[in-house]
Amino acid sequence: MSRDTPRTRLEPADRRRELLVVAERLAAADGIGSLSTQAVATAAGASKALVFHYFGSVVGLQRAVVSAAVDDLLAALAATEGPVSPERPVVVLDAFITTVTARRELWTDIWRGALHDDPQTQEILADARSLLVERLARRSTAVHASSTSPTPDASGGDQRLGPDALALLSRGWVALAENTTAAWLAGSPLTQHELRDLLVRTLSAVLGDLTGPLPR
pLDDT per residue over 36-65, tens digit each? 999 999 999 999 999 999 999 999 999 999
pLDDT, tens only, 138-166: 654 444 444 444 444 444 444 566 777 77
pLDDT at 1: 42
| Cα torsion 22, 14, 121, 125: sign | negative
| Cα torsion 46, 48, 54, 55: sign | positive
CA distance linking residue 31 with residue 48, whole number of Å: 20
pLDDT at 89: 87
pLDDT band at 110 (very low <50, low <70, confident <90, very high): very high
213 vs 185, residue with greater confidence: 185
SS3 12: helix
pLDDT at 151: 45
| Residue 47 CB-half CA count within 13 A | 3
| Single pTM value for the model | 0.78
Q: Is 161 exposed, middle or buried (0-12, 13-18, 19+ CB in 10 A)?
A: buried
SS3 152: strand
**Range in 117-121, 131-135, 181-185 the model is least confident about:** 131-135
Nearest residue to 71 via CA among 124, 26, 120, 142: 124
pLDDT, tens only, 96-108: 999 999 999 999 9
Assess if CATH 2.40.160.10 describes domain 12-144+160-207.
Answer: no
* Average pLDDT of the segment spanning 71-88: 82
136 vs 4, residue with greater confidence: 136
